[in-house]
With several copies, the nearest count.
Chain A
Amino acid sequence: MAEPHPQPPAHWSGSEPRQVVAPDGSLVGALPDDLDTTALRELYRWMVVARRLDRECIALQRQGELTVYPGHEGQEAAQVGSAWALGRDDFVWPTFRELPVALIRGVDAVQYLQYHRGTWHGGPYDPRATHFGPICIPIATQVAHAAGYALGRQLDASDDVTIAYFGDGATSEGDFHEAANLAGVRRLPLVLFCQNNGWAISVPTASQTAGEIWRRAEGYGFPGVRVDGNDVLAVYEVTREAVARARAGDGPTLIEALTYRIGAHSTADDAGRYRADPDVEAARAFDPIPRFRTWLVGAGHADDAFVAACDEEAETFALTVREGVVATPGPPAEWAFDWVYAEPPATFERMRDEALATERR
């Protein structure tokens, strides 16, 4: 594996993040006490599977099978570690970059990718069944939805927890602020999970905010924590703590997971215009997957056979998903109208008929 580069990405500077496994794979913190070998291997497996699928999606886009696709390479630990800390009925409000989280929530990858295939908005999976909300593009707006959902569960006296994912750039939006403040006032069972991957398209975190994101929490009256987002065990641990607090009725937590966007913002983006390859190479030295593998194998939780098996499974899975995606037909014309209203007005139905008649013409 690559030697950890002496210089971590610029946006990791400042307060020390929580860490369990160092970039070189050595154990530097307390292991989560509730993860047995099976669980530890699962964490690794999911990261590998997600990484491989990401590559496949980029290929699919290049081949015209997907429209613009936003990759997650480098952010697997932040997503797998946090998703693993959630209960079955806990609800996830994602952005557009949480494919790994979606997989762990049991969202069908082929269905999920319909969003990027351009056959449906929001994602055609059932958000209620998967407890994974619709993909959300308007930055930070889903945080407000998450706060409302958390409020709804709280009013139902349920102990379900809600988690909102968002990026460093999202913390600059008014919606993030209003939702976070509301969460504080109502002590909502909400985890605010920020993947600070250093970039908002071409804008580095330093140009996004002058403060440390996790420190925002204090102003809202709840705790914030900074974690090494490329350390899957540390991410799992801080998220588990935040989920426990929320479930116990102790309110929200803001988690800033320091990670790095290895790929371009999306397949439509040319990162070469705004960042230097050496920086990206440097960041690769902090890649979450080899780091965790080193520890996992070193600690005897896995061997080369397991590692190979994961790669193999990832390969097969990626190809199965590819087949599924390529096979999905475009939606029928009616779908542009079918679900706009639960009670469609007569004027709307007349226009739908006009539209469908035109289509057939």
Chain B
Amino acid sequence: MTEWTLSRALNEALRHALRADGRVLVFGEDVGVSGGVFRVTDGLQAEFGDTRVFDTPISEAAIVGSAVGLAFAGWRPVIELQFDAFSYPAFEQIVDHVAKMRMRTRGRVDMPITIRIPSFGGIKGKEHHGESPETYYAHTAGLKVVVPSNPQDGYALLQHAIRDPDPVVVLEPKARYWTKGHVDLTADEREIGRGRVIRDGRDVTLVAYGSMVARITEAAAQLADAGIDARVVDLRSLSPLPDDLLRACAEQTGRIVVVHEAPRHAGFGAEIAARTMELAFDSLAAPIARVTGWDAPYPPASLEDGYLPSVDRIVAVTKETVAY
């Protein structure tokens, strides 16, 4: 057991992967000598050299496109796209090629590509630095999409993503990079596709991923004072979706509140709601509620707090759902 920040845990996961597999490459913008805007690649170039860990020109499409070619050449690319919105210039390469190439080659060529994207808001950042791109990637068949919310998951999920023979998009919540937590280096369950119940509860289930997990956890504590026993679920994997867990929560608590930062319209919360309804309609005692960012562009720093789901909003909506 060690105490690490999420940034450090991800850094150690990369270090571990680079050590364990000589075919692993880490590249992107400023990941080399500078160690990455969020220090996630700190010290890796010094330790593994600039053939294993290197900077690229500012060319997102070529970063992802070259990862596809590197996979054909038997390498295992782990790439960083510097911020959520800066993954969009590579969208065509991700959707048309990374996600489909293995099928196109009839399984002759795997795409063991890991795409790390510092994502989501909450850091009072500039525009294009607070986007929630998860729905774009989760809706893209052929990709796997995971979101660690704490150092332990960061350490485990990133390693699993790198080892996975399929392309995995790892959305790292910027707002949690500097939050410390215990990391059990020996834990190595097959993580991708499994959610985690962080707090049990009978009255209602709060579901979230990334930074919002901390907020639903806090909300659950406040709800407890109000006599509401809320279960807290960290989804962790958006694709594949841990739908057995969602079914169980619906069956056991009958009420579900989904929380995410992205706009509500066609956001990932819709899939959680629709899927859960399909799986456990008769168990639902209230409509599945969504507490999300508003259907407007991510606002400037000064308006961020009003945009992101606050603990108050989560608590209020949960109370309505329980009272329904």
Contacts and interface: CB of A to CB of B under 8 A. Distances in A.
Interface of A: 67-68, 91, 93, 96, 115, 117-124, 126-128, 133-134, 137-141, 143-153, 155-156, 169-170, 172-175, 178-179, 181-182, 185, 200-203, 207-209, 268, 273-274, 330-331, 333, 335-343, 345-348, 351-352, 355, 358-359, 361
A355 B100 CA distance: 19
Interface in B290-317: 294-297, 299-303, 306-307, 312-313, 316
Interface stretch (B63-71, B181-189, B253-261): B63-71
Interface of B: 25, 29-30, 32-35, 37, 51, 55-62, 64-75, 77, 85-86, 89, 92-93, 96-97, 100-110, 124-129, 141-142, 144, 164-166, 192-193, 239-241, 243, 264, 294-297, 299-303, 306-307, 312-313, 316
A156 B70 CA distance: 11
Contacts of B73: 148-149, 151-153, 155-156
A150 to B, nearest CB: 7
Contacts of B106: 120, 124, 338-339
Contact of B34 (A121, A170, A202): A202
B34 A273 contact: yes
Contacts of A173: 58-60, 89
A148 B93 CA distance: 13
B302 A331 contact: yes
Contacts, number: 257
Contact of B55 (A120, A153, A203): A203
Nearest to B312: A361
Contacts of A347: 193, 240-241, 243, 295
Contact of A343 (B56, B85, B165): B165
Given A149-B73, A345-B193, A138 B296 contact: no
A178 B51 contact: no
A122 B105 contact: yes
A119 B254 CA distance: 42
Nearest first, the 5 A-B pairs at minimum CB distance are A144-B65, A148-B69, A152-B73, A122-B104, A118-B301
Contacts of B25: 155
Contacts of B93: 141, 144, 175
Nearest to B96: A138
B50 to A, nearest CB: 10
B296 A336 contact: yes
B66 A121 contact: no
Contacts of A152: 69-70, 72-75
A209 B299 CA distance: 35
Given A141-B92, A173-B58, A274-B34, A148 B107 contact: no
A341 B129 CA distance: 22
B141 to A, nearest CB: 7
A118 B298 CA distance: 12
Nearest to B99: A340
A337 B86 CA distance: 24
A337 B296 contact: yes
Contacts of A145: 65-66, 68-69, 72, 97
Nearest to B167: A341
A147 B57 contact: no
A138 B90 CA distance: 13
A114 B134 CA distance: 29
B62 A144 contact: yes
A172 B56 CA distance: 10
A208 B58 contact: yes
A104 to B, nearest CB: 20
Contacts of B303: 330-331, 333, 335-336
A133 B97 CA distance: 13
Nearest to B307: A336
Contacts of B241: 347
B124 A118 contact: yes
Nearest to B263: A351
B70 A121 contact: no
Contacts of A169: 57-58
